[in-house]
Structure 1
Amino acid sequence: MSLAETTADTADATRSTAATPFPRRRGAFGRLLRSELGLTLGRRRNQLLLALLTAVPVLLGIVLAIVSDSAYAGQGPGFIDRVAGNGLFLVVTSLFLCTPFLLPLVTSIAAGDAIAGEAGAGTLRYLLTVPVRRGTLLAAKALAVMAFMLVAVALVTAAALLAGGLLFGFDDLSLLSGQEIPLMDGVLRMLGVAGYVAMSLTGLVAVGLFFSTLAEVPVGVMAATVVVAIVSTVLDSLPQLSAIHPFLLTHHWFDFAEFLRFEVSWSLLGQGLVVQAAWVAIFGSLAWARFTTADITS
């Protein structure tokens, strides 16, 4: 072999070696993310939770159909009374009832299992032997929990649309301000409601992941995460603390009602998303700092 050929082969090998780490890292993260998604969505308990959440709009629709002509008709928030006239309102009603407790509970369970569950089971130590950075592993787990939460909101929305259409039918959407918009615009508004609810839970995901890095008992993490949402709601109800209300985790959770107004206040919705982004940034950073420096021995 000539000197020129040898030099060329060496250069090719050098380029190949230099280029290898990036595809491997991307491939490793993709495999890790798929594994975390499969683990989170494949757990029997999580599947049961999703099934129960999906049943909520169906049961709610049946109950509202039964009482629509009784003395209980007209009680509750205005959009609940409108379900009998338009099945689209079942989406708002279902998310309104699931947002204060059920969706946060499901999110907390997934976040608690993400790290604390594996630490308690003794599998986290072996997972850390995978040749990826701890920050990368945390990102994969966070995305898996986020995906589980999105699936939960999507299933509630889809079940509400199906049950609402079958039980009450669809019609042009009559907004809370009195105006009517076409049916397809109404469907888009309902999808906007679902999207905003999902985005409003991202801060809770970050809180749950941070707590999950602090303990090895997932039940405690789940309880602590739910308590954060409950305490935020209690503080938000105290007028004496109005100065901190805009910064509380749950303060903007029900701003999705803006989608039921003719003129949507995008600035108000934006404020809610900014607050969630701040909670994600703060508790995501705390989770990263804890997870990347902790001495994992179990």
Structure 2
Amino acid sequence: MSSHDAAPRPTDAPPPPPTPASGTAERGSGVPGLLGSELATLFRRLRTWMMLGALGLIPVLLGVAVRIAGGTRAGRGPAFLDQITDNGVFVGLAALTVAIPLFLPLTISVVAGDAIAGEASLGTLRYLLVAPSGRVALLAVKYVVAAVFCMIATFAVVAVGVIVGAILFGAGPLTLLSGAQVSLAEGLVRCLAVVAYVSVSMLGLAAIGVLLSTLTTAPVGAMAATAILAVAAQIVGQIPQLSAVHPYLFTDRWLDFGDLLRSPISWDSFLDNALLQAVWIAVAGALAVWRFTTRDVLS
């Protein structure tokens, strides 16, 4: 046998090392790339669009119900309900008051609770941590993605409500809570201000959800715990005997956007709400950073 026959064949070479789990290799490098890929991942999920679709159904059902019933009595039902037949724009605002106590927090709890725990359950978290951006940057990106969802989900409720209301009842100059009347264009700007207010209101809940997501590898547990805390805080807020703690609840000012629908606009409630949410974001964020940076990631 010649020496050439004894030489190892190319096929005898060891196989290449395995690649990371599906999807992690495609994520961008650096914080901007990671943020872009995380946002893309969020809105590629069928679950995200199903939640947005469910939120969009709220104003549709509300508008159709009022249309079939021919109106409602003043003071009955959620805020703005008795004004829908006069101006369809109020469908969006009435739907928002229906969505805020449960449906909107529930969808945000799903996104925030899945932030870290979802990666751990899929076994992709350790591959994300290989990136040079670091744990704190990853945590910040996950929170920003949850915050973006807060804004889009809130906007979806109001936007669908305004469109459905305009179709069913028409739209025109808006009569504000103070009795003054403004043009339709200004009324829509006021609706955008309400969207901003409610989006800010949900940022504290999103921070709590991300914190709980760092405590477990089971995303369903983090989602459920976040949603339960949102409901529990609202229940505590309705108990007079616990009025001393009401101003410190992250849910305390969720529905106080009425000052944006007065003339002139009073921004005090907006600023107070933003400060309250900032405190909760700071506290939950600090705890999440401490937990995540000291955690042994095995999955």
Same fold (TM > 0.5): yes
Q: Distance in 1 between matches of 2:129 and 2:161?
A: 41
AA partner of residue 68 (structure 2): I
Q: Structure 1 residues 85, 216: CA separation in 2 closer, same or farther (over 3 Å shift)?
A: same
What is the aligned partner in structure 1 of residue 204 from structure 2?
203
Name the stretch that deviates more: 220-229 or 170-179. Answer: 170-179
What is the aligned partner in structure 1 of residue 180 from structure 2?
179
Q: CA deviation at 1:178?
A: 2.1
AA partner of residue 155 (structure 1): A
- What does the per-residue CA deviation read over 1:246-286, in whole Å, with 9 as the maximum and x for residues that have no partner? 11111100011222222433222211111001000110111
Q: Distance in 2 between matches of 1:247 and 1:264?
A: 25
Q: CA deviation at 1:66?
A: 1.0
- What does the per-residue CA deviation read over 1:153-188, in whole Å, with 9 as the maximum and x for residues that have no partner? 121121111111111111211122322222222111
The answer (yes or no) to whether the contact 2:79–2:94 under 8 Å persists in 1 is: no
The answer (yes or no) to whether the contact 2:109–2:226 under 8 Å persists in 1 is: yes
What is the aligned partner in structure 1 of residue 156 from structure 2?
155
1:64 is aligned to 2:74: no
The answer (yes or no) to whether the contact 1:128–1:134 under 8 Å persists in 2 is: yes
Give 4+ residue runs of structure 1 displaced > 4 Å after superposition.
Answer: none
- What does the per-residue CA deviation read over 1:60-87, in whole Å, with 9 as the maximum and x for residues that have no partner? 1111111125xx5442245110001101
Structural mapping, 1:120-131, within 5 Å: 120-131=121-132
Gaps of 5+ in 2: 1-27
Q: Structure 1 residues 147, 52: CA separation in 2 closer, same or farther (over 3 Å shift)?
A: same
1:292 is aligned to 2:293: yes
Equivalent pairs: percent with the same residue?
A: 42
AA partner of residue 43 (structure 1): R
Q: Distance in 1 between matches of 2:217 and 2:230?
A: 21
What is the aligned partner in structure 1 of residue 12 from structure 2?
none
More helix per residue: 1
What is the aligned partner in structure 2 of residue 41 from structure 1?
43
Q: Structure 1 residues 78, 111: CA separation in 2 closer, same or farther (over 3 Å shift)?
A: closer
Structural mapping, 1:6-155, within 5 Å: 28-69=30-71, 72-74=72-74, 75-155=76-156
The answer (yes or no) to whether the contact 2:260–2:267 under 8 Å persists in 1 is: no
1:215 is aligned to 2:216: yes
Name the stretch that deviates more: 91-100 or 40-49. Answer: 40-49
Gaps of 5+ in 1: 1-25
Q: CA deviation at 1:119?
A: 0.6
What is the aligned partner in structure 1 of residue 265 from structure 2?
264
Secondary structure, counterpart of 1:273 in structure 2: helix
Secondary structure, counterpart of 2:179 in structure 1: coil
CA RMSD of aligned residues (A): 1.5
Secondary structure, counterpart of 1:176 in structure 2: coil
The answer (yes or no) to whether the contact 2:237–2:249 under 8 Å persists in 1 is: yes
The answer (yes or no) to whether the contact 1:40–1:145 under 8 Å persists in 2 is: no
AA partner of residue 43 (structure 2): L
The answer (yes or no) to whether the contact 1:60–1:94 under 8 Å persists in 2 is: yes
- What does the per-residue CA deviation read over 1:211-256, in whole Å, with 9 as the maximum and x for residues that have no partner? 0000011111011101111111111111122222111111100011
Secondary structure, counterpart of 1:50 in structure 2: helix
AA partner of residue 31 (structure 2): F
What is the aligned partner in structure 2 of residue 236 from structure 1?
237
The answer (yes or no) to whether the contact 2:257–2:269 under 8 Å persists in 1 is: no
TM-score by length of 2: 0.87
Aligned residues: 271
Q: Distance in 2 between matches of 1:141 and 1:159?
A: 27
